[in-house]
Chains A and B, each alone.
Chain A
């Protein structure tokens, strides 16, 4: 069975500081990995995804994530936080090949202080 663990339900950074949101996954098959962002009272928006190929993936709004198989991790980073980055971030995994349902982590709420 697949699962996702997001370390830290709340992360606070200053504007301009590095953003690091942690995600570890468990999967018995090669996974597809996703990061979604959810702004208040809105739906989920895909930030980036890893399927195959390059392990460092770049997404929207300056975010990127690196798939590290040896560490079963897919941490999300952004070099310089902006006030508009304040939101809830969800890491998700789906089993490759045979299913398209997403298994989400519990989310990390990012706060950005001026």
Chain B
């Protein structure tokens, strides 16, 4: 079965540089979520999109922005990178189709993550 695809899998940047992470959801999934997992820490919710509109926002720095495109893939743009941005960035996707249930029931399927290292 198709899974969530994230690219690149590894990324090394210098401080103050920019980075773009990409996420390709499972086909027919309309919702995308971004999480940040620092070294030895739990994943922290950053932002989510449903049908190309931002649906929820967590602890995402102002230096970061994200969007979901017409083909439902999403990109997380990170500017003025700091050492503390080094982390594993997960994308997850879910489908709201045919559930008829409260939104939180939609299972999130996670990608393998992009490991960002800021030097």
Contact = CB atoms under 8 A, between A and B. Distances in A.
B69 to A, nearest CB: 20
A77 to B, nearest CB: 21
A106 B104 contact: no
Interface string B27-60: 0000101010000011111001000000110100
Contacts of A42: 112-113
A98 B42 contact: no
A46 B42 contact: no
Contacts of B113: 42-43
B104 A90 contact: no
Given A43-B113, A100-B48, A101-B56, A32 B41 contact: no
A104 interface: yes
Interface in B73-119: 90, 92, 94, 101-113
A45 B110 contact: yes
A100 B41 contact: no
A110 B35 CA distance: 23
A51 B42 CA distance: 22
Interface string A98-109: 111111111100
A44 B44 CA distance: 13
Contact of A44 (B58, B101, B106, B110): B110
Contact of A43 (B31, B42, B90, B102): B90
A94 interface: yes
Contact of A107 (B42, B58, B103, B111): B42
A53 B111 CA distance: 29
Given A42-B112, A43-B4, A100 B103 contact: yes
Interface of A: 32, 36, 41-46, 49, 51, 90, 94-107
